[in-house]
Structure 1
Amino acid sequence: MEFRHHPIIEGLKISEDGTSIKFNNEDCTIKSYQYKHTRNPTLIVHINRKPITVIKLVCEAWHGVSPSGEHAARRIDETKGNHYSNLHWGKKGMTVSSAKGVVKPTAKMSPDVYQSIMKRSTKESIRSILKELNISENRFYQYRKKHVKKEVR
């Protein structure tokens, strides 16, 4: 296992995957901490009474100090751990793992699409037609409410 010295903190050596961290030739205790706003626990080391994440230390030792305050240490693949080859400096904010739950927009409604749905609705249910066309029911009914005039009785 290869070690590198930290560029800022003197006497701090970090292994290539962050499993071993030495400060003044003494092993540091790596603790797992679960923040309320994160899904997975974070590995933390206390150096001079200050908690620092292992991922940040590994990224600083192997890739240099972050380019700006807008950057944070990020994993390329969440399942491959804290090895330096799996880390990079990325902008703070939206990550790939947090974007997994985002719902992609469904198809848009237009007068032509609406008319074709209404023609097909005599033989099939509207719900099945919308599912086939990847149009949400909400979008369909909102479109009808806004753009289709009601028949006068």
Structure 2
Amino acid sequence: MTMKNENTPKEKAGVVAYRSEQSGEPHVLIVSARKIKDQWVFPVGSVEKDEPLEVAAQRECLEESGYRVDIGEALPRVETATDHRTVRFTFFLARVVGETDQWETDRQRKWVPVSQVVDMLPEIFQGIGRRAVKRILSAAK
């Protein structure tokens, strides 16, 4: 039996999913947070044993929002520590390629302009949001 090492970071993977809009300004997908009332986050969740980060990120996006995505470049990792464990977040830029009508019913989802998304995120994800917005805007040129 293998015991988990409390010093090993818990891996989480997610996406900053975006799409073009007729207005010309790209929009980014956010979902309602479970643990923080009235807060919006990027789709993100735990990585299963032996699951590649990219696969986990795609799965979490589909489960939490109903959107299928193609994974793009990885963004810089973010770590946070609690009294008990370190959590390491890996986010990927992702383009939406499809949609289902099923996702976690306790989640809301919405598309927001890239110019507004950073201010809607919890502080821990604002740096990721800023980096993603820069990359999305440079790709849109």
TM-score over 0.5 for the pair:
no
- TM-score, normalized by length of structure 1? 0.20
Superposition TM-score, scaled by structure 2 size: 0.21
More strand as a share of residues = 2
Q: Compare relative contact order (CA 8 Å, sep 6+) and give the higher one, 1 or 2.
A: 2
